[in-house]
């Protein structure tokens, strides 16, 4: 069986056993089983395993996986770490091909726990079982409803199906990325939190995602690499086809030690990895917000064909800062054609600042935006359009969403890129969500918008073979 | 009349005239009048001025301010720029002492519009009138309900009364800061958006806020300084009493030009200002989020008595990045006493990582947090406690809020500082809001928490006279 089928097994099982299922709300073994009820309701087979119970959450409970009638494709393990090798052996005998180990208490504690992890792996290898974890929150696939999380749905939003895959060594960061995605209507193809990665690692998953048809962009949060050579080779192959953004934690000396006791990996030395990442075509993010921002840009706008930016707003403050950020990030303010400036002057109020950035001022209406953006997109010197909004201003209204849909379509037809900036309370947030649904990535502050645009530009260079 | 009374007039008028009031929803002159209805309902006198109307929004309308019976303390002007000098002259005759000019169309357009601004100022000086603006959104005081914004309340949240003052050259940034404050339950003392600052500038307002009793911390967004010497002197005096955070936009060459056409000021040259700011005791923010984050920290936790940090979480990922950030920002990971570590080991599960950072792991309950934080705060090597949460985890619940109230009280009694980190969807956001209400500033990503903590540390050095 090839790596594609092996990893695909985690997202497409017909039957799942939860070993260590609990009947007590608040317990991890209860939360995991409960979250898998949607998988069961969608037609999957779901088996709670617990020697002391006959039934949990309306499902028949088994003393051991060996007692389950029929075959089991995948097991989710939530028992104490010292029992895990023996449980894996039972899984092997049952013919299980994929295991997710949620439990911690392995390599991250060092000493004899490190040996326990090695022992568990040895048993798995004997049966050809592939393992994700331990010390993780596991996998999520919104299409097949596989959801091994111990975060109840009323506390953690799940995103809809889409084109983004996130991989993360930290479950916490995984949770945050998924909830941000859900709030922005950003869809997910596959999600893996792999913790100590005793078996399946980022390289394995990347080789799978390279060919997985729903996935168009991948974001990874990484603390330490086990086999660096394997990883960089996989990354290089992956980035020939799809964009890959990486956030690396634990590069400072003190943080490297903290990473060691987190998932048992020493964080990458200093900034040595940085050059290797770049050589492998990886785009580097510096914070979790940036990882998310960049992934969102690439999921919605694909790439930028050049670095030349035109900006427009009805409140100039953010543009002043965006211009600063553009100069820091190596993008460029487009020099507008004089014929374009003439058009703008002719069609807009005399108080409009007709330069790049274009300041429509606080009296601008959605119609003013439309007229101005339509003209700006025709300028051959413009690769990207950054559109900032003060939706709160009295002369604006919700018709701006339809305006932006039209502008986004025109931009796409011209091979140009559109990003938006707006921040505020519930009213602005609801418009930002509409903007996202229309395919325009939207950011609260200009620096974040510009960094996301930089990712589009870097990937554009990759696409054109320029880098 | 001293500067205190002059500036205080903008926040405590008994009567306000809106010159250019409109009866048409969507118009700026309508929005401004409507937002001032709360001032009127609270007992203030409110006069719409418009030569073509008898009544607007149920208020008697006057053809000119000269027709208003009785005195008028303050005028808000929203008419076309060319009419402004003549309007100011009428205000002067009427005895108006404070004017807010919302309208643009002055210095920011250059040429004859620059002359128009000078002319308007000359008229004002003749009568001793103080002016805020033009080209701004004006002032907001949640205690007296003075609210000159043209952003309707259903589109823009207003924060409650509190101890924070924001000053901003950009109205857009002002709107965002106020809505973020409202969502976090962060209270405002005074707010001023001053745009072109033809008369009243940051230095004037700082000298007022230095003695204004509600204001405990000030945040400023600044593009360019008119009279730098005056400003730095005011800042130096201000920071002897209260903390001052500044975000400066427009430092790149291209952005300096953009700033010029925004509010008519050339942005500060290169990074020259930076040293002068620091010398004046100012804390420098790099983005709008950071300005807000730092102000919030200083509004809630006052200062940090030292740089030594202990961290704790039920999901270690963010702590790995926080350790990186601590090393970048010149804070320190506290070396825990061995007796403290012994206490932690004795009282927590064997899977807890008892180091700094402390990893309670995903099975932690609010009680585990309480036990651990209580012990950590007793360590004399700890100045600040960074508490990260995965509220989404099944074993957590809302009782963590009461735990944090107790811990925050203990920390305050010991002169120590507490900041929290958590991110996610609606469930986590609602807990974050409770955390904020309990006086614990809370941040979505560790880098933002650490930068805010840095501001507390810098102000602490100032308070102790160390810097």
In A, which residues are within 8 Å of B357 by CB distance?
Answer: 258
Q: Is the pLDDT of residue A418 over 60?
A: yes
The residue-averaged pLDDT of B125-145 equals 97
Nearest CA in chain A to B360: A262
Contact A181, A139 (CB under 8 A): no
Chain A closest-CA separation from residue B152 CA (Å):
6
Cα Rg of chain A, angstroms: 25
Cα Rg of chain B, angstroms: 25
Chain A closest-CA separation from residue B398 CA (Å):
11
Chain B closest-CA separation from residue A258 CA (Å):
6
In A, which residues are within 8 Å of B172 by CB distance?
Answer: 313, 315-318, 388, 390
Percentage of residues of chain B with pLDDT beyond 70: 97
Tokens 């502008």 appear where? A407
Chain B closest-CA separation from residue A297 CA (Å):
20
The residue-averaged pLDDT of B187-192 equals 98
* Beta carbons of B316 and A258 less than 8 Å apart: yes
Q: What is the pLDDT of residue A109?
A: 87
Contact B76, B18 (CB under 8 A): yes
Chain B closest-CA separation from residue A378 CA (Å):
22
| pLDDT digit string, tens, across residues A125-156 | 999 999 999 999 999 999 999 999 999 999 99
Q: Is the pLDDT of residue B145 over 90?
A: yes
Chain B closest-CA separation from residue A192 CA (Å):
15
Long-range pairs for A81-85 at CB < 8 Å and ≥24 separation? A81/A105, A81/A106, A81/A113, A81/A116, A81/A134, A82/A116, A84/A116, A84/A120, A84/A134, A85/A116, A85/A119, A85/A120, A85/A122, A85/A123
Q: Determine the Cα–Cα distance for residues A170 and A259; give it in Å rounded to an integer.
A: 10
Backbone angles phi, psi at A166, to 5 degrees: -115, 135
Percentage of residues of chain A with pLDDT beyond 70: 97
* Beta carbons of A262 and B156 less than 8 Å apart: no
Closest CB from B151, B154, B252 relative to A323? B252
Chain B closest-CA separation from residue A320 CA (Å):
5
Q: What is the pLDDT of residue B249?
A: 85
Closest CB from B258, B288, B423 relative to A445? B288
Closest CB from A31, A175, A425 relative to B390? A175
Closest CB from A156, A261, A394 relative to B392? A156
Chain A closest-CA separation from residue B388 CA (Å):
10
Contact B382, B416 (CB under 8 A): yes
| pLDDT digit string, tens, across residues B78-95 | 999 999 999 999 999 999
pLDDT confidence of B266, banded at 50, 70, 90?
A: low
Report how many Cβ contacts below 8 Å link chain A to chain B: 267
Closest alpha carbon to A403 in A426, A431, A429: A431
In B, which residues are within 8 Å of A155 by CB distance?
Answer: 391-392, 427-428
pLDDT confidence of A466, banded at 50, 70, 90?
A: low
Q: Is the pLDDT of residue B271 over 70?
A: no
Closest CB from A31, A109, A317 relative to B249? A317
Q: What is the pLDDT of residue B338?
A: 96
* Beta carbons of A394 and B28 less than 8 Å apart: yes
| pLDDT digit string, tens, across residues A27-47 | 999 999 999 999 999 999 999
| pLDDT digit string, tens, across residues B412-426 | 999 999 999 999 999
* Beta carbons of A258 and B151 less than 8 Å apart: no
pLDDT confidence of A252, banded at 50, 70, 90?
A: confident
**Which ipTM was obtained for this model?**
0.93
Closest CB from B168, B183, B287 relative to A445? B287
In A, which residues are within 8 Å of B249 by CB distance?
Answer: 317, 320-321, 324
* Beta carbons of B351 and A221 less than 8 Å apart: no
* Beta carbons of A250 and B320 less than 8 Å apart: yes
| pLDDT digit string, tens, across residues B381-421 | 999 999 999 999 999 999 999 999 999 999 999 999 999 99
Q: Determine the Cα–Cα distance for residues B450 and A11; give it in Å rounded to an integer.
A: 37
- Cα dist from B365 to B5, B343, B377, whole Å: 54, 18, 19
Closest CB from B176, B353, B391 relative to A261? B353
And the tokens for A190?
């596959």
Neighbours of B55 (CB within 10 A): 11
When the pLDDT of each residue in chain B is averaged and rounded to a whole number, the result is 94
In A, which residues are within 8 Å of B447 by CB distance?
Answer: 287
| pLDDT digit string, tens, across residues B21-42 | 999 998 999 999 999 999 999 9
Q: What is the pLDDT of residue B101?
A: 98
| pLDDT digit string, tens, across residues B53-63 | 999 999 999 99
Chain B closest-CA separation from residue A465 CA (Å):
30
Q: Determine the Cα–Cα distance for residues B184 and B437; give it in Å rounded to an integer.
A: 8
And the tokens for A98?
């994929």
In B, which residues are within 8 Å of A326 by CB distance?
Answer: 254
Nearest CA in chain B to A427: B155
Neighbours of B445 (CB within 10 A): 21
* Beta carbons of A104 and B428 less than 8 Å apart: no
Helix (H, G, I), strand (E, B) or coil at A35: helix
Q: Is the pLDDT of residue A467 over 60?
A: no
Q: Which of B104, B154, B394 to mutate to test the interface with A (most CBs of A within 10 A)?
A: B394
In A, which residues are within 8 Å of B150 by CB distance?
Answer: 362, 393-394
And the tokens for B235?
């800042």
Q: What is the pLDDT of residue B316?
A: 87
* Beta carbons of B318 and A447 less than 8 Å apart: no
Q: What is the pLDDT of residue A307?
A: 97
Backbone angles phi, psi at B197, to 5 degrees: 40, 60
Per residue, what are the HEC states of A179-244? HHHHHHCCCEEEEEECCCCCCCCHHHHHHHHHHCCCCCEEEEEECCCCCHHHHHHHHHHHHCCCCE
- Measured in whole angstroms, how far is the alpha carbon of residue A203 from the centre of its chain? 16
Q: Is the pLDDT of residue A268 over 70?
A: no
Closest CB from B157, B263, B351 relative to A105? B351
């Amino acid at each position: 069986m090839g790596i594609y089928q092996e990893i695909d097994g985690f997202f497409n099982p017909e039957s799942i056993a939860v070993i260590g299922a609990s009947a007590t709300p608040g317990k991890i073994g209860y939360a995991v089983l409960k979250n898998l009820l949607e998988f069961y309701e969608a037609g999957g087979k779901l088996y709670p395993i617990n020697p002391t119970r006959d039934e949990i959450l309306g499902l028949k409970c088994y003393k051991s996986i060996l007692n389950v009638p029929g075959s089991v494709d995948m097991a989710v393990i939530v028992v104490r770490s010292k029992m895990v090798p023996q449980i894996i052996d039972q899984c092997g005998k049952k013919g299980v091909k994929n295991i997710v180990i949620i439990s911690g208490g392995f390599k991250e504690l060092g000493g004899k726990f490190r040996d326990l992890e090695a022992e568990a792996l040895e048993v798995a290898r004997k049966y050809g079982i592939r393992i994700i974890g331990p010390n993780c929150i596991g996998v999520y696939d919104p299409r097949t409803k596989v959801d091994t999380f111990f975060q109840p749905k009323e506390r953690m939003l799940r995103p809809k199906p889409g084109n983004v895959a996130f991989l993360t060594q930290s479950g916490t960061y995984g949770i945050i990325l998924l909830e941000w995605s859900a709030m922005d209507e950003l869809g997910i193809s596959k999600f893996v939190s792999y913790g100590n990665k005793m078996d399946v690692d980022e390289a394995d998953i990347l080789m799978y995602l390279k060919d997985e048809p729903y996935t168009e962009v991948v974001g990874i949060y990484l603390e330490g690499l086990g086999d660096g050579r394997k990883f960089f080779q996989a990354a290089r192959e992956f980035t020939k086809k799809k964009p890959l953004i990486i956030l690396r934690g634990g590069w400072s000396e003190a943080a490297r030690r903290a990473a060691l006791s987190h998932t048992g990996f020493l964080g990458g030395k200093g900034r040595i990895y940085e050059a290797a990442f770049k050589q492998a075509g990886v785009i580097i993010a510096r914070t979790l917000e940036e990882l998310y921002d960049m992934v969102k840009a690439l999921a919605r706008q694909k790439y930028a064909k050049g670095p030349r930016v035109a900006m427009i707003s009805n409140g100039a403050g953010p543009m002043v800062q965006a211009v600063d950020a553009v100069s820091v990030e190596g993008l460029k303010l487009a020099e507008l054609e004089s014929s374009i400036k003439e058009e703008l002057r002719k069609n807009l109020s005399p108080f409009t600042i007709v330069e790049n950035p274009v300041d429509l001022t606080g009296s601008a209406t959605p119609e003013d935006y439309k007229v101005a953006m339509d003209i700006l997109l025709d300028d051959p010197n413009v690769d990207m359009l950054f559109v900032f909004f003060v939706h709160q201003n009295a002369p604006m209204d919700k018709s701006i969403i339809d305006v932006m849909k039209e502008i986004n379509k025109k931009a796409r037809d011209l091979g140009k890129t559109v990003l938006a900036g707006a921040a505020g309370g519930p009213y602005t947030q609801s418009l930002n969500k509409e903007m996202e649904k229309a395919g325009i990535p939207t950011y609260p502050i200009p620096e974040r918008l510009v960094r996301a645009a930089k990712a589009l530009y870097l990937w554009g260079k990759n696409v054109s073979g320029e880098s």
